[in-house]
Structure 1
């Protein structure tokens, strides 16, 4: 049975091994602009840039869950983490944006951020969403308008 320790351990050569897991914060930046812009409830396009701060939760059970799911080495690989979570983050942005009027999104950035966090959830298969920053948001004309 695997064991997680935060202080160190003795490893018997040939009989057992040890792997390190990177618990540092990772930032995944997603952008929806131009043809990929979100569509608000009122049909306006929403161009935005959002940064999602994610890390492995520092609990032994969560560390083991991540190690089993993607491996210790890949748990610290920024591109692997992005590949795993970007679709979920984009989906949350699209769902929240699609049920909110564009003006409300622009005026209520913090409420929008909170809704996105609730939509994503904070427990992500051993990872934890620490924060979301809406770095840029702009409202365009409705799709199909000249």
Structure 2
């Protein structure tokens, strides 16, 4: 179960206690207050530990800069809202491929029926077979020079 995001006012004193000796300015805190509602708790936690592990001189400033880079979910400049990435593989959501394939097959069937109506039954399949045989012959005799 994902932990709930604590209110910013309870988080700021905790950060002050956990990071002794670093000067936390009011402008940094105000900037963190502005960004905090737009980011997830997971991102805040990750950036906090990243700042600590990198031994940042100003961890709150580092956190603010890193959190500003993260895109919110409702970002209007997101390139393709239909696309999601699973690791490095792009996975498109919202496309019904069965419906797309049915649409393509319906178009081919309409072409086949129209051609067969004019030229006789099976003429379309004979034409496609003749084209396939011709392409096979061309590629078989093709030589690399």
Which TM-score band (shorter chain)?
under 0.3
TM (norm. structure 2) is: 0.26
Which of 1 and 2 has greater Rg? 2
Which structure is richer in relative contact order (CA contacts within 8 A, separation 6 or more)? Answer: 1
Is the strand fraction higher in 1 or 2? 1
